[in-house]
Each structure stands twice: as structure tokens, then as C-alpha cells.
A and B are shown apart, each in its own frame.
Chain A
Amino acid sequence: MYTLSSKLKLTAIIFVIVGAIGLVIGFLQAPSDLDDVREMMAAEEHHADPAESTMVEADFAKAEHGMLLDDEPGRNVEEKEDQAAEAGSHDTEHLEHKLHQLQNKPWAAVYVAAFFFFMISLGVLAFYAVQYAAQAGWSPVLFRVMEAITAYLVPGGIILFVLLVLSGMHMNHLFIWMDPEVVENDAIIRNKSSYLNLPFFLIRAAIYLGGWFIFRHFLVRNSRRLDEASDNYYFKKNFKLAAGFLVFFIVSESMMSWDWIMSLDPHWFSTLFGWYVFASLFVSGITVIALISIYLKSRGYLPFVNDSHIHDLAKFMFGMSIFWTYLWFSQFMLIWYSNIPEEVVYFISRIENYSLPFFGMVGLNFIFPLLMLMNSDYKRVNWFVVLTGIVILVGHYVNVFVMIMPSTVGESWFIGLPEISAVLLFAGLFIFVVFNALTKAPLLAKRNPFIKESEHFHY
């Protein structure tokens, strides 16, 4: 049996407290009206050169515009007055836009972090179900670790649902289609409103989450009962349950990704978005299994897990990283090549304002794991796997960031207090829930019919 060390517990609690305090400050710092934004922008202009250069460019464009009209002096005066009025209204419009983005920022930071840690436990649940459905012989020694990680599914899912409800109550403007005024003036969203409307949206979210909770509950319960059983009844039951879950999961996961992420850009659509999110959550989940297994092994808790098990997990990390890149590029290339305005806006906003994270994550999620884990022997070196795993997790956090931020805070992004605090808060919660769940059952699923094979597994 695993006992939660007080050190780890303390770390988790400190993470939660520091994260919570940081988030409160982040919410308080968000501007509440236009004057705040004006002040913030004025403060920014003092020490931001790139902003100045764009201003100069804009002035130049205006000057050019003026020159073209110089041949008609009379009209030009009128024009200038018009322009001044227009500039004034344009200015407040811009400020309002900025205000909304900055008000969204702490909410979006919470949403990104909440989704990131939730998707890890969802990915692990999918991986766990795959092991049962495939009747895998290598992995049963890792089952208890996987079960513990999926324990975060319930609190994480409830937090996400609360966040979605709060968005629906107009506490924030993450989902612009929830704003009736926007929908009224937008024919594209109006045509989608039979699907994208608040009650149906929340019902769907409840169905996905409820389904995952129920499947998770029974899979884990049967696995615990199998320990005490005298035959393989619960194993067979879990086999069927896992197969059923995978069918439900791949449909609900796909729809979840449309609802919770793609609908942030309600005009845009991509047919492989569900797979893209799936690849991200799967690889993050497998990476966390590897990291926690290595941690527990280093504390002497998993004597039956050998280097071959880590090797296999590292193979999955390697393969799924490539799979993620394949989808990332497939989505990008088709849209880049066809260059259809309503599709390409997605990448234009990302490349123009998020160039570093958007291209940087390919380095973190593809090139780094590719080179680090290509050699067969390196997959057995635990610190190599840990180092690569941390980089993969950072990369997939950035991936979620780049999926959510451009459509919620636009160009006003930076990784500041709310982002870091939100990650700390949910990391602390995740660590606490997962390691607490580890104490609830023996670390070896001793009655699993494949446990002998798994213990003797070697490459």
C-alpha cells in the first residue's frame, strides 16, 4: 500500500494556496472599465518599442490616405473632420475590445489550466481502457497508477463544468456565441444556433462528463473487485466495459473538443479537430503515467515495474508525439494551401500574434522527443524519459494555450501571474487527488489474469 508522504501533501497544498492567491490577484488586476485600460496602455507605451513602431506605421498610412485626397481641398476638410470623429470612435472601440480581452485573460488562464489537467486524466482513462480492450499483457502492473490518475477526472470535470456554467451566466466572454447580441448580428452563428445554444451545450457537457464518470467508476470498481475474486468474471466484464467506453469516448471526445475548444472560434471549423485534441490528451496522459511510475519506483513502491515497462511507455510517448505532429501539420497544411478566408483566419491570428508558442511547441512536442527518444536504449534511461516527459507536458500546455487564447484574449496575451497561478493551482489539486487515490488500493492488481506475464515482461 502506498502512503501519501507529508512532504508531497504539503507541496500540493502550497501549490494550491499560492495558485489561488495568485489567481485572486490576477482577477483583481484585470481592468474593470475603459479608464483602467487607457492607463495600462499608456504605461505599456512607455516601455514598449514594438508598439511605437506600429503606431508610426499607422500614422504613415493615415498620411498617405490624406495625400491622395489632397487634390480636392474642400472635401478634404470635411474628410479630416470625419476622420477625426472616426478615429475617436475607433479609439474607444479599440479600447473596449482591449478591455474585453484583458477581462477575459484570467478566465482564459483558468480555463486553459483546468482543461489541461482534466485532459491528462481523460487521456489516461482512454489508455487504461485500451489496455483492457486489447487484453494487453505488458501493462497490468501499471493499472493502479492509471486508475489513480483517472481519479482526477471527477473533480477536474466538475470544475470544468462549473466554468462552462459561469461562462453561460456571462461572468466572462470566453464563448462569444453565448452573447445574444453577438448572435443577433452574426448570420453564421445564427445558422449554427440550433447546435450552439446554451441549454443544449450544457446538456451535452453533462452527458460527456457523466458518461466518462460512470465508465470510470465501474472500470475501477471491477478492477478492485477482481483482486478479491476467485475467477475472471470481473476481468471479462471490464473487457466489455472498456470496449463500450472506447466507442462512447471517441464520439464524445470529438464532440467535446468542438464544444469546449472549437466553438471559441464559432466561425471556424476543422474536421480533424477531435483527433488533434485526442492526440494531445493521449500523449500527455501517457507521459504522466511514465512520470508517476518513475517517481513511485524511485521511492521503492513499484518493485515489479522494470525498465521494459518504462521502455514501452516511452515508445508510446515517442509515437504519439509524432502522431500529434502529423495532425498538427495536416490541419495546417490543408488550410494553408487552400487559403480560404473563413478557414485561414485561425492560422493567421496564431501566426501573427502567437508565432513563438505556435511554432515553438513543434520543437517541444516533436523535435525534442523525436531526437531524445529515437534511440532504443535511451527509452530505458529513466532520467531521459523524465526530462523528455516534462518537455512534452510543457509543450502540450502550450498547445492548449494556443488553441484557447487567440480566440479569447487575442493579441493581449502574455504568460503572466494568472497563467502561472492557474497552472500551480490545478497542478497542486491534481497531485493531491492522484496521490491520495493511490493510497486507496494495493499498488499491484494481483488477480489480473495477465499479471504474471506483466511482471515477467522484458524486451
Chain B
Amino acid sequence: MASKVIHAIYNDDDVLLLAVKQVREARYHIGEIYTPFPVHGLDKAMGLAPTRLAITSFLYGVVGFVVSIWMMNFMMIEDWPQDIGGKPSFSFLQNMPAFVPIMFELTVFFAAHLMVITFYMRSKLWPFKTAENPDVRTTDDKFLMEVDAANLNVDDLSDFLYKTGASEIKIIDNK
């Protein structure tokens, strides 16, 4: 695939956002952007498809809710009914108020943990993975935009990127 890319480094997230808009208007292709923190509105500026993570989160929450109902019904009603504070222990519905905190917590637990795991999987992150980050400074205070340069005039492209406010430009030839 396209092997030649340009790494343009920006110092400020607002400059980066404006640059992204200009680069896309000029019909250059942005491969990836590395930032030290989430930049609000960057996904829209880059034209990325809206995330479906929220939908998965909702579904995981529903799963957690159902699991909690099944779990509490099995533990407290079917398997080992106990008399706690004289509350009716033979009917799920009559004992339900006591289970609401558990239902709530398990809904949140499932939604949050499974969503994070899904996010890791979609981002191809796992323990001991070597970082894909091309420049360690993007973990501190620099913003890096990776632009495809294959079959393009590299000089024109770097001039253009300088004009958008890039502080540093590197041509990477990946062979």
C-alpha cells in the first residue's frame, strides 16, 4: 500500500483542527492523527463515521440488567431463600425493592466494563502491545497528523502543510 507518508506536527489543538479542515478541503488524505488528549470535534472534522460504541454500551447495560434479575432470583428466591428483616423471600416481585441497587450496579458494571473492552478491541489495543505511536512527543504536548504522500508532489504538500501552521514536517518512506 501507500508507503510514503508525511508527519506534520502541530503545537496547538485549535491550529490542528483548522489544519484538518484545510487539508480535507484540499483533498489530501489524512491517515491518522495522534494527540496527547481527546480533541473535541476532531472526529467530525476528520469526517469519521459516528461511533457505535454507545449502542453496544446500551446493549451491555440491558444484558447486565437481565443478568442481575436472573442472579438475584436464583440466589435469593429459588436456591436459598433467607428471612432478612422479615421481608417476603418467596416472591421475586415482593422482594424486588431490595434488589434494585444490585440491578443498578450490575447494569452499570456490565455497560462500563464491556464497553471499555469493546473499545480496546476496536482500537486494537491489548496488554504488552508495542506502541504504534510514531513520535513520543504526542504523549506530551504535540499533535501529529499523518498525511498520505504516495503519488503526490512532496514539496507542494509540505509547503501546504507549513501554511496550515505545522511546526515541523517529516517525510517517512516505509519502503
Contacts and interface: CB of A to CB of B under 8 A. Distances in A.
Given A337-B85, A337-B87, A339-B85, A329 B100 contact: yes
A336 interface: yes
Nearest to A376: B54
B97 A337 contact: yes
Interface in A288-346: 329, 332-333, 336-339
A336 B97 contact: yes
A57 to B, nearest CB: 22
A297 B15 CA distance: 34
Contacts of A333: 97-98, 100-101
A440 B59 CA distance: 49
A374 B62 CA distance: 13
A348 to B, nearest CB: 14
Contacts of B85: 337-339
Nearest to B61: A374
Contacts of B87: 337
Interface residues of B, number: 9
Contacts of B100: 329, 333
B97 A332 contact: yes
Given A339-B85, A339-B86, A374 B58 contact: yes
Say what secondary structure dominates the interface of chain A.
Answer: helix
Say what secondary structure dominates the interface of chain B.
Answer: helix
A339 B85 CA distance: 9
Interface string B84-108: 0111000000000110110000000
Interface string A372-391: 00111000000000000000
A337 B98 contact: yes
Interface in B47-61: 54, 58
Contacts of A329: 97, 100
Interface in B88-139: 97-98, 100-101
Contacts of B86: 339
Contacts of B97: 329, 332-333, 336-337
B158 to A, nearest CB: 32
A339 B97 CA distance: 13
Interface string A354-397: 00000000000000000000111000000000000000000000
A96 B86 CA distance: 37
Nearest to A374: B58
Nearest to B98: A337
Nearest to A377: B50
A336 B100 CA distance: 13
A367 to B, nearest CB: 12
A336 B98 CA distance: 9
Interface string A42-68: 000000000000000000000000000
A376 B58 CA distance: 12
A332 B58 CA distance: 27
A376 B52 CA distance: 12
A337 B101 CA distance: 13
Nearest to B84: A337
10 contacts: A329-B97, A332-B97, A333-B97, A333-B100, A333-B101, A336-B97, A337-B85, A337-B97, A339-B86, A375-B54
Given A332-B97, A336-B97, A375-B54, 4 more contacts: A329-B97, A329-B100, A333-B97, A337-B98
Interface of A: 329, 332-333, 336-339, 374-376
Interface of B: 54, 58, 85-87, 97-98, 100-101
Smallest CB-CB A-B distances: 7 pairs: A333-B97, A336-B97, A337-B85, A329-B100, A337-B98, A333-B100, A332-B97
